[in-house]
Amino acid sequence: MAGSTPPAERPVLFGLLGAMMFSLKMAMAQLPNIEPVSLLVMLLAACFGWRGLWAVYLYIFLEFMVWGPGLWNISYLYIWLLLFAAARCLRHMEAPLGWALLSGCFGLLFGGLCAPVYWAAGGWAAALSWWTAGIPMDLLHGAGNFALALVLFQPLRRLLERLSRRHQT
């Protein structure tokens, strides 16, 4: 089949994309809560469909390996899946502003999305205090996500859609 990828290339592709996501986040680590991961998760969902989850969960695995265990590990298992699913549902959206709003809102809500883990570990007071203490970081996260998606989503989408067509199942 012309244009299809041999099965051995698919794990390599998603391995490289997951490693790239982790590497880019580490390269931007000096910026307070400004990261390319949200943008890349949305792009993987829009361009590769559910296969893109391989790269997302490789990224999560690399985070666990570098930073070790903690309560945040549990939230990472579902938080990125939530963004991926939302982006997958909106994959036909063309407006850059729409993608920027999705990414910005996700950044603003990040602490709240993590709060259930802290509620389970320590009750409502722990969840609320953890969430409210992180609001300044969530504001930076939301603003950074919005700006990155507004500027980069469309050009990167064109690039990844070409790559996706080459690696179709």
CATH of region 9-166, choose from 1.10.1760, 1.10.1740, 1.20.1270, 3.90.320 = 1.10.1760
Query: What per-residue string of b and e applies to 3-41 under the rule 16 or more CB within 10 Å gives b?
Result: eeeeeeebeebbeebbeebbebbeeeeeeebbbbbbbbb
How high is the pLDDT of residue 8?
67
How high is the pLDDT of residue 11?
87
Q: Domains of the chain: which residue ranges?
A: 9-166
What does the pLDDT profile of the chain (169 residues) look like in tens digits?
A: 445 556 667 889 999 999 999 999 999 999 988 999 999 999 999 999 999 999 999 999 999 999 998 888 999 999 999 999 999 999 999 999 999 999 999 999 999 999 999 999 999 999 999 999 999 999 999 999 999 999 999 999 999 999 888 777 5
